[in-house]
Amino acid sequence: MKFMKLYPDDQTMKFLKPILFSRRLYSAHKATQKIGEYDVAIIGGGIIGTATARELLSVYPKLKAVLLEKEKELGIHQTANNSGVIHAGIYYTPGSLKAKLCVEGSKLTMKHCDEKKIPYKKVGKLIVATDEEEVKYLKVLYERGLSNGVPGLELIDSQEKIHKIEPECKGLKAIWSPNTGIVDYKNLAISHADDFHTVGGEIRLRAEVATIEESGREDYPVKVVDTHDHVLVAKYVLTCAGLYSDKISMLTGCPRNPRIVPFRGEYLLLKPSKRKMVKCNIYPVPNPKLPFLGVHFTPRMDGNVWLGPNAVLAFKREGYSYFDINFLELIDALTYTGFIALCLKNMKYGVGEMIRSIIWPLQIKQLQKYLPNITSEDCERGPSGVRAQALGPDGKLLEDFYFDKSQKGQLKDRVLHCRNCPSPGATSSMAIAKMLVEKMGKEFGLEKIHAEIKKKLKT
């Protein structure tokens, strides 16, 4: 990685404090430590934040921009802990942002990987119907995929044809998507960040945002302060805060809802000796009565095969196990009317997911619908990820991508928030980035700012 922290971390400052400062002078130093003035500040160093930062300086290379990430490295949460699939765009409602941006994002991602020599594979995807009810909806999915412009789709009408693609798989009919791929999205995020940094963008790690407020200045109206009391001012701010997107939005006066509720997805792994059982992605036909997709089989770039996930409430927004608990965040989720409504509507399903989470061999029955020969001896516990799912107060999951702007005082039309970008957010990230930069160009007047900077540089 070509970039580094641009200010001392807490351990360094603790070492310097008794040498360089009295307690009083050290406190004053912290309170007045200014980072700089920027045309655009981007908050969040995941796949969407890094992709947008790269796109911003690709379109407007003269802007002064900074990317803030609260962790010590980029892309370690949803970006690094998702299935790694480059989705083709089959599942999503025609005309929705998900449908449009997923298809476009898939092409852009693979093109970028080719140009940057980032490893990826087109392993394909089978969406398998295992009973007659699923066959009916499979045909709806096929038409939906065609409407969305997904390339290369094929309707597989027999078990024999399924076996030619995936010998261990059982099903009545299936959709074959040859252009579905896999990639390591953290590698992709780092590539985007490198491009951003190479053309002059600044990246600041360990920069957890505490406040976004009015600066009182006409030239740089937005002030951002992190938890270390480092201060920057900016003309415009974009937030891509993932699991904390609602809370970051609230800092600028946006409404709390739709609220982010964290759902942990726990995967099983095929043991190394059994990995040959799965050659491509094997996905279910979604049950429209249930809130989540269900288990699937996912080959990974590192050679592993992930099985799952289930879906249970995470006890912390970045909680990857039952032992990761933040009581304030847990109470916030449990008392939210939207979560209560979701639980009441899906009580049986939710209890089943929790039981299968604790007693993982019970998940094997679900997997055997597609691979009858798989047993619990073939599997072991695997990694977990946490999905940032925006949930309305009525208990309905926000299905499409959702963006919001601050309407507060001097921040009005100065701050743009990515409020909901779940799967296929990673696949769509480069298309989302293009859309956001176009949106900021029009609504923030970046073209004018960029032209003024170029003119000053010439003179």
Could you tell me if residue 214 is inside a domain?
yes
Would you state the pLDDT for residue 35? 77
CATH of residue 210's domain is 3.50.50.60
Provide the pLDDT confidence category of residue 5 given band limits of 50, 70 and 90: very low
By DSSP bridging, strand 231-239 and strand 34-43 are parallel
Q: 415-420 and 231-239 as β-strands: parallel, antiparallel, unpaired?
A: parallel
Domain extent at residue 168: 122-183+260-391
The pLDDT tens digits of the residues spanning 179-231 come to 999 999 999 999 999 999 999 999 999 999 999 999 999 999 999 999 999 99
Q: In this predicted structure, what is the pLDDT of residue 16?
A: 40
* pLDDT value for 388: 96
Query: Between residues 411 and 9, which one has the greater pLDDT?
Result: 411
- Domain assignment present for residue 323? The answer is yes
| CATH number of residue 153's parent domain | 3.30.9.10
Q: Classify the C-alpha dihedral 378-185-144-166 as positive or negative.
A: negative
- Asked if the structure places residue 104 within a domain, the reply is no
Q: Average pLDDT over the chain, rounded to whole? A: 92
Cβ atoms within 10 A of the Cβ of 360, count?
Answer: 19
Assess whether 280 and 165 both reside in one domain: yes
| Same domain (yes/no): 167, 212 | no
Q: Which of the listed residues 372, 391, 410 is the one where a domain comes to its end?
A: 391
Helix (H, G, I), strand (E, B) or coil at 155: strand
The answer on 425 and 340 residing in a single domain is: no
Structural domain contains residue 427: yes
What pLDDT sits at residue 229?
94
Q: Quick one: 175 and 279 in the same domain?
A: yes
Q: Are residues 226 and 245 in the same domain?
A: yes
**For residue 80, what are its two tokens?**
């690094």
Q: Which of 368, 391, 414 is the last residue of a domain?
A: 391
Same domain, 270 and 300: yes
More confident residue, 89 or 10: 89
Query: Which parts of 83-229 fold into alpha helices (H)?
Result: 97-116, 132-147, 159-165, 185-198
pLDDT single digits (tens) 343-387: 999 999 999 999 999 999 999 999 999 999 999 999 999 999 999
Domain count, the chain: 2
Same domain, 231 and 364: no
User: Could you tell me if 310 and 433 lie in one domain?
Assistant: no
What is the rounded average pLDDT of the residues 118-141? Answer: 96
Residue 246 included in any domain: yes
Residue 83 forms part of a structural domain: no
CB within 8 A of 379, min separation 6: which ones?
A: 268, 269, 270, 271, 274, 307, 360, 364, 367
Region 82-102: what's the mean pLDDT? 96
Q: What is the pLDDT of residue 33?
A: 76
**What is the pLDDT at residue 38?**
98
If one compares 29 and 333, the residue with the highest pLDDT of the two is 333
Mean pLDDT throughout 319-338?
Answer: 96
336 shares its domain with 382:
yes
Shared domain check, 192 and 56: yes
Assess whether 129 and 140 both reside in one domain. yes
- For residue 382, what pLDDT is reported? 96
Q: Could you tell me which residues come within 8 angstroms of residue 456 by beta carbon, excluding any fewer than 6 positions away?
A: none
447 band by pLDDT with thresholds 50, 70 and 90: confident
DSSP single-letter state for residue 65: E
Q: Which of 391, 422, 440 is the last residue of a domain?
A: 391
- Tens of pLDDT, residues 130-174: 999 999 999 999 999 999 999 999 999 999 999 999 999 999 999
356, 385: one domain: yes
Q: Which residues form the catalytic set?
A: 87
pLDDT band at residue 28, thresholds of 50, 70 and 90? very low
Q: With respect to residue 265, please indicate whether it lies within any of the assigned structural domains.
A: yes
User: Does 3 map to a domain?
Assistant: no
Percent of the chain with pLDDT over 70: 93
